[in-house]
Amino acid sequence: MATALIWNDEELNYDFGPSHPLKPIRVKLTVDLIRACGLTDADNVVTLPQAAFGDEDVLRLHSEAYVDAVRGCSLRPRQSAVSFGLGPGDNPTFAGMHEASLQVCGASVAAADAVWTGTVAHAFNPAGGLHHAMPDRAAGFCVYNDPAAAIDWLLRCGANRVAYVDVDTHHGDGVQAFFYDDPRVLTISLHESGRYLFPGTGFPDEVGTGDAEGTSLNVPLPPATPGPVYLEAFDAVVPPALDAFDPEVLVTQLGCDTHVTDPLAHLALVTDDYLELAERLHRLAHDHTSGRWVALGGGGYQIVSVVPRAWTIYFAELTGAHVPLEVPLQWQQLAEEAVGQRSVGTFLDGPVQLAPERLGAIRGQAASSVEELKRAAFDLLAAR
């Protein structure tokens, strides 16, 4: 089955500046590592550009007043629009911001279109996953919401049931907001609890509204949650939810800021866990959606040591290949020259060690979140 990598260098234009943690070089290094591992050389892999995505398309998602504000800041980058979340802080303005944000959406729409039309079974846009953008404002480094754009595209093309699974360390609040009252979309987010981390949402009682009750599922996890506990929560929630919802296509946000070394969050996964997650998501796609899987990037702020390795692991799984044990030396040298940081030499990290008492406490808190979610939403989902 064919897999598409959605990429061209225009996706590097989404750039808040050199002091901002969301650095586009992390995506370029990911694509370079994917290529250095030979994953794009396979006969079943194609590289596709972004789709056309313009003002008419973005206005299906975002309010006219907000899009006008983005356009204005894009033309006059010293201007702020604080009421729309644009300005100093998380979402600084920059020249061409409107066009760059449209390009990210177009890349995710291209992934969705390639999968839905059967051009490929799986597609990956590593520059995507801007899941915090709200209908009327920017948030959390996200201007326009490309996962919502991809899901909206699938619905417009005739999909009746789309499942969205978000494994970023931050709650996928924007995507949830777009589809909170839409029974055609199941959103599942596993994330560090909003009690400790932006955006402060994503609790089990957020289950959807109206006809969509039961289609918003949230698993908040305590700080220092390691991979085995995370995977236990995933297994307890995601497969049975997909069983009940019966989706036609799977969209995933693959943020890797869950890593134990990420500077902006506090979970404790390692790259070994991304291999496990990739295998699980791949299996779920084939079990539930005839293999139709749209994969998007997301957060991740260790731009050399984690992000490229994590997303190369995911892309290898998408293609049915295996990553090598060692990160290619040529790529390590390239990354050090580009960023001035040394990479880890192997793809897998090995496990995180926690004291038994602490591990037990974290496991108990995670299990409580899962049970609270099941009580709040699973009966509603099953009754649909």
DSSP string for 210-264? GGGTT-EEEEEE-TT-BHHHHHHHHHHHHHHHHHHH--SEEEEE---TTBTT-TT
Neighbours of 329 (CB within 10 A): 11
State how far the Cα of 317 lies from the Cα of 296, in Å rounded to an integer: 14
State how far the Cα of 114 lies from the Cα of 116, in Å rounded to an integer: 6
Look at strands 45-48 and 3-6 and give their pairing. parallel
Pick the catalytic residue from 132, 171, 191, 266. 132
What is the sign of the dihedral through the CA atoms of 18, 20, 22 and 26?
positive
Quick check: is 132 catalytic? yes
Element (H, E) at 192: strand 185-192
**CB environment 211-232: b (16+ within 10 A), e (fewer):** ebbbbbbbbbbbebbbbebbbe
Strand, helix or coil at 268?
strand
With 0-12 / 13-18 / 19 or more C-beta atoms within 10 angstroms meaning exposed / middle / buried, residue 114 is buried
Catalytic residues: 132
